[in-house]
Amino acid sequence: MTSHASNEAVEADPTAAINEPRLWRNNGWTARVIKNEDDEGWAVEMIKDGESEPALVGPWTMGRDKKNPKPLDVSAFQTLVKTASEVLRRHEHHLHAMLHKKLTVDGPDGPICVSLDIVPDEDDPYAVLGARDMAGELIAEVRVGPEFKLGVASAEAWIADEFRRPE
């Protein structure tokens, strides 16, 4: 099947399994062996169904003739799915860590868990600064700018200022 025919197969039924030497699709993933634009070798891209950008692009092994790529097979596809899934998982964890921060500081009546949750809205990004006691009861919550930096000093200052909105 030519590259053009493979593209037509992918677009015809985006959920149908495909098992071709340079194109595999199954279980929500598509692996496509492509010419590596940086050198004379080959690369493989892994695209999760519904996504426009690949989750993973990496080098691909040359075949025995040293010109064409090694064909995809079930074992290679399963390994690629596992690796691409892990890349997505790490990206999601990193994004979550960037948008949600928590720390515990001493308050006048015991430990207070202070959190900062950034809402990355395209038109109006903001963050919510919150305080909870150790039982999880909400003490205070205020809206702050998305650039607010949560640290021990800023949390303690907010508590000392009786949870007023920081300037």
Percent of the chain predicted with pLDDT > 90 = 74
- Average pLDDT of span 23-39: 90
Instruction: Specify if 131 maps to a domain.
Output: yes
Q: Phi and psi at residue 11, in whole multiples of 5°?
A: -75, -30
Return the pLDDT at 88: 94
Q: What is the pLDDT of residue 14?
A: 67
| 115 inside domain | yes
Q: Looking at the structure, do residues 30 and 78 belong to the same domain, yes or no?
A: yes
Q: What is the pLDDT of residue 162?
A: 94
Confirm whether 166 is domain-assigned.
Answer: no
Say how many domains are in the chain: 2
Long-range contacts of 82-91 (CB under 8 A, 24+ apart): 83/46, 83/56, 83/58, 84/29, 84/46, 84/48, 84/55, 84/56, 85/55, 87/55, 87/56, 88/48, 88/55
For residue 167, tell me if it sits in a domain.
no
Indicate if the alpha-carbon torsion angle 151, 152, 155, 156 is positive or negative.
negative
Do 89 and 119 fall within a single domain? no
Looking at the fold, whether 76 and 153 belong to one and the same domain comes out as: no
Task: State how far the Cα of 154 lies from the Cα of 51, in Å rounded to an integer.
Answer: 39
Are 127 and 67 in the same domain? Answer: no
Of 39, 71, 65, 44, residue with least CA distance to 55? 44
Q: Which of 67, 96, 125 is the last residue of a domain?
A: 96
The reported pLDDT for the residue numbered 121 is 87
Q: How confident is the model at residue 66 (pLDDT cuts 50, 70, 90)?
A: confident
Domain region containing 118: 108-160
Based on the fold, state whether residues 123 and 87 are members of the same structural domain.
Answer: no
Q: Are residues 87 and 12 in the same domain?
A: yes
3 state DSSP class of 7? helix
Residue type for position 24: W
The answer to the question of residue 22 being in a domain is: yes
Answer yes or no: do 26 and 86 share one domain.
yes
Confidence (pLDDT) at 1: 41
Domain boundary among 54, 75, 96: 96
Residue 79 near residue 87 (C-beta atoms within 8 A): no
Model pLDDT for residues 117-141, shown as the tens digit of each residue: 999 888 999 999 999 999 999 999 9
Query: Same structural domain for residues 9 and 84?
Result: yes
Q: Is the pLDDT of residue 105 over 50?
A: yes
Both tokens of 39, joined, read 């050198």
